Amino acid sequence: MTTATAEDQIRDTVTSNDVVLFMKGTKTMPQCGFSSRVAGVLNYMGIDYADVNVLADDAIRQGIKDYSDWPTIPQLYVKGEFIGGCDIITEMTLSGELDQLFEAKGVAFDKDAADKIREANG
């Protein structure tokens, strides 16, 4: 029965926030390098997002992997859709796909900051 609860919590979180990052730690204090990288990109781009610390709840930690059918954390959701983990978000940021996704979904972000990330990593 706990899985249903975790799944319900995850679904509620994903559908009630435009952007959600399931991560190890929090956006202000990430607890792993991959979570830190994705949170860093979102923070730098000025994205307003909800962070869910999977280390605080084992049911959510396992539940999010089942929910997305994706084995690793962090996991980024935009408007209820699973986008990917660290490698995918890094690639999308550098290619400009993440900007396009945010624009298409109506999520506000700092375009100049996104450009600066690409310049620094180009």
32 is in an annotated binding site: yes
Using the CB atoms, write b or e for 19-43: b if 16+ within 10 Å.
Answer: bbbbbbbbbeebeeebbbbbbebbb
Other beta carbons within 10 Å of 59: 15
Q: Residue 21 is inside which H or E element, if any?
A: strand 19-23
Cβ atoms of residues 84 and 75 within 8 Å: yes
Alpha helices (runs of H) in 17-57, residue ranges in sequence order = 33-44
Cβ atoms of residues 24 and 18 within 8 Å: no
Residues annotated in the binding site for [2Fe-2S] cluster, as ranges?
A: 32
Residues annotated in the binding site, as ranges?
A: 32
